[in-house]
Chains A and B, each alone.
Chain A
Amino acid sequence: GDSVTQMEGPVTLSEEAFLTINCTYTATGYPSLFWYVQYPGEGLQLLLKATKADDKGSNKGFEATYRKETTSFHLEKGSVQVSDSAVYFCALRYTGTASKLTFGTGTRLQVTL
């Protein structure tokens, strides 16, 4: 079945460091791909998305490119802030009336001063 694999956390970085969180997927078709972020004590928020190969999603300084050849959707940010500390989830979703998101297990990011 379809699945999403994320790198194990936690990831600990100093402020202004470069961030990469790896995400790869297994899918039988061509899903849309998403990154969600969950700040402490809150629900998930959509961070960015890409709907087809080579699309780049971006938001709040974060970017991810849909790579069909490597089945990847890695999340990057050039300079992280303490306020980026959160859990990040990669997910995929197909088209269709009852399509549903399949999530990875999440990667916790801790940014220190």
Chain B
Amino acid sequence: DVKVTQSSRYLVKRTGEKVFLECVQDMDHENMFWYRQDPGLGLRLIYFSYDVKMKEKGDIPEGYSVSREKKERFSLILESASTNQTSMYLCASSLRGWGNYGYTFGSGTRLTVV
């Protein structure tokens, strides 16, 4: 089974801190994604990457950046954390190509910014 591992289940950070959320997958998937999940809003795509060093903005990229230096690792960076970035963050990966591949998700990181 593909595993997507997020480094932390819970994080508490202070306003203005730089925050790194790490995600690693072990099945050589080309595509990786970062979503945030908020009540009533569902999942919203922040950034995605379809290859090493490649990145594309999703629907809500403001206040975030990403890094993909190796195929298996996709990092989400909050340059200066704010309270409105308190959320559940979900990483996912998938094979490239035909849309009939689903995603494999990590267990999520619940981030609280105080």
Does more than half of chain A's interface fall in helix, strand or loop, or is it mixed? Answer: loop
Chain B contact patch, size range: 20 to 34
Residues of A close to B4: CB separation below 8 A: 43
**How many chain A residues touch B (Cβ–Cβ < 8 Å)?**
26
Residues of A close to B33: CB separation below 8 A: 100-101
Residues of A close to B42: CB separation below 8 A: 89, 103-106
Residues of B close to A97: CB separation below 8 A: 50, 96-97
In the bound complex, do residue B102 and residue A34 qualify as a contact, i.e. CB atoms below 8 Å apart?
A: yes
Map CB proximity to A onto B12-42 as digits: 1 under 8 Å, 0 otherwise.
Answer: 0000000000000000000101000000111
Residues of A close to B50: CB separation below 8 A: 97-98
- A23–B111 alpha-carbon span in the complex (Å): 30
Give chain B nearest CB distance to A8 CB in angstroms. Answer: 10
In the bound complex, do residue A89 and residue B99 qualify as a contact, i.e. CB atoms below 8 Å apart?
A: no
In the bound complex, do residue A32 and residue B105 qualify as a contact, i.e. CB atoms below 8 Å apart?
A: no
B112 within 8 A of A: no
Residues of B close to A95: CB separation below 8 A: 97-100
Q: For window 67-113 of chain A, which residues contact chain B by CB distance below 8 Å?
A: 89, 93-101, 103-106
- A97–B43 alpha-carbon span in the complex (Å): 21
Query: Can you name the residue of chain A whose Cβ is closest to the Cβ of B58?
Result: A100
Option from B58, B90, B98, B99 in Cβ contact (under 8 Å) with A44? B90
Residues of A close to B56: CB separation below 8 A: 98
Candidate in B41, B45, B103 with the most chain A CB atoms within 10 angstroms = B103
> Residues on A close to B: CB < 8 A?
31-32, 34, 36, 41-46, 49, 51, 89, 93-101, 103-106
Closest 6 CB pairs of A and B: A105-B42, A43-B105, A51-B100, A46-B102, A95-B99, A93-B99
